[in-house]
Structure 1
Amino acid sequence: MRRFRMFILAGAVAGCLTACQAGPGEPQRVEAPSSDLESPAPPVTAPSTRAAAPSVPSTQATPPALSSEAQARLDQELIAAAKANNAALVRELIGRGGNVNAKDAIQDSAFLYAGAEGFNEVLQLTLAAGADVASTNRFGGTALIPASEHGHVETVRILLAAGVPVNHVNNLGWTAMQEAILLNDGGPRQQEVVRLLLEAGGDPSIRDPEGRTALDNAERLGFVEIANLIRGGG
């Protein structure tokens, strides 16, 4: 029995000596998973601090279709705004679909009235909106004829550039040149109007219902400067 205990004791001492010589145990090494088995993490993108630009409505958008009654009301509003020389309102009403060629009860359209009265900003708006430059008023005249009569020099320039017929004859038998002479004072504005008409191809030989040419009427009324312009061809 004593021998058996000594044997146990000797075994324990030997085990202790072996453990001490071995030193501290190394931590278990964990192999990382193979890179070809794992997809790389997607890059993290910082949220954008820039606000999205607001959408701008198109200024060329086609206005909604109107009933015939609503269109007629809109067109009459447009003519009234043109007669009031309210360019801002004319612009708005055109944008809503107002027809610049629509006429009122006395055959005025926004275009014709603006041309006759020298409302040049309104006139330009109607031209940009597709005014019919050959349209006529209740006297059968184009916008150029009353503009010439009134001596609206810049208006005459605009209308000629837009292509209004220069030799159109109205129901009274007068061209723009005849009316510029017969219905005004022959002053500097009338002289400039006649010069512009001649340069644009105005024909001074067209006779009025009395058989008189533009030169005949200028001489008869004592408008020497205009007569000289006509003789010199402008």
Structure 2
Amino acid sequence: MQNFHGSHTKLNEINYFTAIEKGELTAVKNQLDLGVNINLTDANKRSGILIATDNHHFEMVKLFLNLGADVNIASDEIDNTPIMIASVKGYVDIVRLLIEQSNPDMTILNGYGGTALIPACEKGHVEVVRLLLEQTNVSVNHVNIPGWTALLEAIVLSDGGINQQEIVKLLLEYGANKNIADKNNVLPIEHARENGFTELVHILS
């Protein structure tokens, strides 16, 4: 009896993760009703809500939040929590949902030792950056393993365009320290100058 129960549980878990990947809401609900733990993780320590976020399945994320899923289980991957993935990928709708309906831990760092804010700045996701700064307690001056703040990444790894200009303005407005240099003691304004980002030089002056 024990064995049958064990294999049955395993099958439910496999079906559960398959249903999440396929975005099948009803099937996921059914598996949870059958007793699958909502915070169960796969081989890479990815929880259901994390996979749903990664796949940009808004309704699935909503379902998990409504049923009380833990949003702060970190996977083994570089972008390791739902808020991290949604911020990196620029999923504004999911970032907003996570902030409004749960309590994402903004101190959990990614594989580069950075907060969710840093890659969002690098990738030019203006609205995500705005939400994180306005509605979470994310550290604006956190320095990651490569030695970069959100402000440095918004300049060094960008094209200096309109989105980046908007992001740099937002960062400064929310207390970004423009005197934190990188590991080679190069300041944000010097990077902007070197890259020929005249608008950013102007904003940082």
Deviations 1:19-40 (A, max 9, x none): xxxxxxxxxxxxxxxxxxxxxx
Q: Give me the identity figure in percent.
A: 35
TM-superposed CA distance for 1:124, in Å, is 1.7
Aligned counterparts of 2:183 and 2:60: Cα–Cα separation in 1:
41
Match of residue 74 from structure 2: 103
Deviations 1:187-222 (A, max 9, x none): 111011001101111111101011101011000111
Higher share of residues assigned helix: 2
Contact 2:151 2:178 in 1 (8 A): yes
Higher relative contact order (CA 8 A, sep 6+): 2
| Correspondence for 2:149 among 161, 172, 175 | 175
Match of residue 72 from structure 1: 40
Deviations 1:121-167 (A, max 9, x none): 11122222110122211111111100000111111100001221111
Aligned counterparts of 1:204 and 1:86: Cα–Cα separation in 2:
37
Gaps of 5+ in 1: 1-62
TM-superposed CA distance for 1:97, in Å, is 2.6
Q: 1:86 to 1:189 in 2, by over 3 A?
A: same
One-letter amino acid of the structure 1 residue matched with residue 51 of structure 2 = A
Does the residue aligned with 2:170 lie in a helix, a strand or coil?
Answer: helix
One-letter amino acid of the structure 2 residue matched with residue 138 of structure 1 = G
What is the TM-score normalised by the length of structure 2? 0.76
Q: How many residues align?
A: 167
Aligned counterparts of 1:71 and 1:197: Cα–Cα separation in 2:
34
Does the residue aligned with 2:40 lie in a helix, a strand or coil?
Answer: helix
Is it true that 1:133 corresponds to 2:106 in the alignment?
yes
Match of residue 6 from structure 2: none
| Correspondence for 2:60 among 89, 96, 104 | 89
Aligned counterparts of 1:230 and 1:193: Cα–Cα separation in 2:
12
Q: 1:136-155 residue pairs with structure 2 within 5 A?
A: 136-155=109-128
| Correspondence for 2:175 among 190, 197, 201 | 201
Match of residue 116 from structure 1: 88
What is the TM-score normalised by the length of structure 1? 0.67
Contact 2:39 2:48 in 1 (8 A): no
Aligned counterparts of 1:78 and 1:70: Cα–Cα separation in 2:
9
| Correspondence for 1:165 among 128, 134, 139 | 139
Gaps of 5+ in 2: 1-31
Between 115-124 and 221-230, report the one with greater CA deviation: 115-124
Deviations 1:43-80 (A, max 9, x none): xxxxxxxxxxxxxxxxxxxx99x88x662239611111
Aligned counterparts of 1:191 and 1:114: Cα–Cα separation in 2:
22
Contact 2:118 2:153 in 1 (8 A): yes
One-letter amino acid of the structure 2 residue matched with residue 126 of structure 1 = L
Aligned counterparts of 2:105 and 2:127: Cα–Cα separation in 1:
19
Does the residue aligned with 2:151 lie in a helix, a strand or coil?
Answer: helix
Aligned counterparts of 1:177 and 1:203: Cα–Cα separation in 2:
8
